[in-house]
């Protein structure tokens, strides 16, 4: 089943973060290294280094300075330098991603506001996933 971003939203704890219009995850990556060549090799071999990088997340939307239970709380987590584990990225009511057991998300960007002259203010957030990868729950809408 294909999933549209139309019904997406982000929750921190039990609170929906107001006015968000987009979220993204980089996904898991692993560094690739070249194996040392041996006599007789005719092709370079590459292997994963065995250490998974759990990636990062980002989301943005309309700036809402009155969102004290969402946008303001995430900014406070960023300023405190603490990892959070109860951030949920929803594609639909029955499909979401969260950091796996033992992992946290360190909010690395908050309160990044752009105020265009002819439009609504936009706020950006970003975080680094550490200790565990993001996990998907559910597969439909």
Per-residue pLDDT, averaged over 53-82, amounts to: 90
pLDDT band at 140 (very low <50, low <70, confident <90, very high): low
pLDDT value of position 105: 95
Q: Is the pTM of this model over 0.75?
A: yes
Report which DSSP code applies to 36: P
User: What distance in Å separates the CA atoms of residue 20 and residue 50, rounded to the nearest whole number?
Assistant: 35
57-67 average pLDDT score:
90
Domain of 66, in residue numbers: 5-26+33-137
How many structural domains compose the chain? 1
Per-residue pLDDT at 76 exceeds 70? yes
State the pLDDT at residue 1: 46
Q: Where are the beta strands (DSSP E) in the chain?
A: 9-12, 15-16, 20-25, 29-34, 46-53, 56-62, 83-84, 87-92, 95-99, 104-114, 122-130, 134-137
Residue 62 pLDDT greater than 70, yes or no: yes
Percent of the chain with pLDDT over 70: 94
Residue 78 backbone phi and psi in degrees, to 5: -65, -50
CATH number at residue 109: 2.30.110.20
């Amino acid at each position: 089943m294909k999933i549209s971003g139309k019904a997406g939203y982000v929750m921190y704890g039990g609170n929906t973060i107001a006015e968000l219009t987009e979220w993204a995850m980089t996904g898991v990556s692993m560094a690739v290294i070249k194996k040392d060549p041996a006599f007789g090799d005719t092709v370079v071999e590459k292997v994963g280094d065995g250490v998974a990088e759990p990636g990062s997340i980002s989301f943005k939307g309309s700036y809402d300075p009155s969102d004290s239970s969402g946008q303001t709380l995430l900014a406070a987590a960023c300023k405190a330098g603490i990892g959070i584990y109860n951030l949920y990225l929803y594609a639909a009511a029955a499909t979401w991603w969260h950091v796996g057991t033992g992992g946290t998300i360190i909010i690395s960007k908050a309160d990044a506001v752009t105020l265009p002259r002819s439009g609504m203010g936009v706020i950006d957030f970003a975080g680094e996933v550490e200790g565990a990868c993001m996990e998907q729950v559910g597969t439909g809408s």
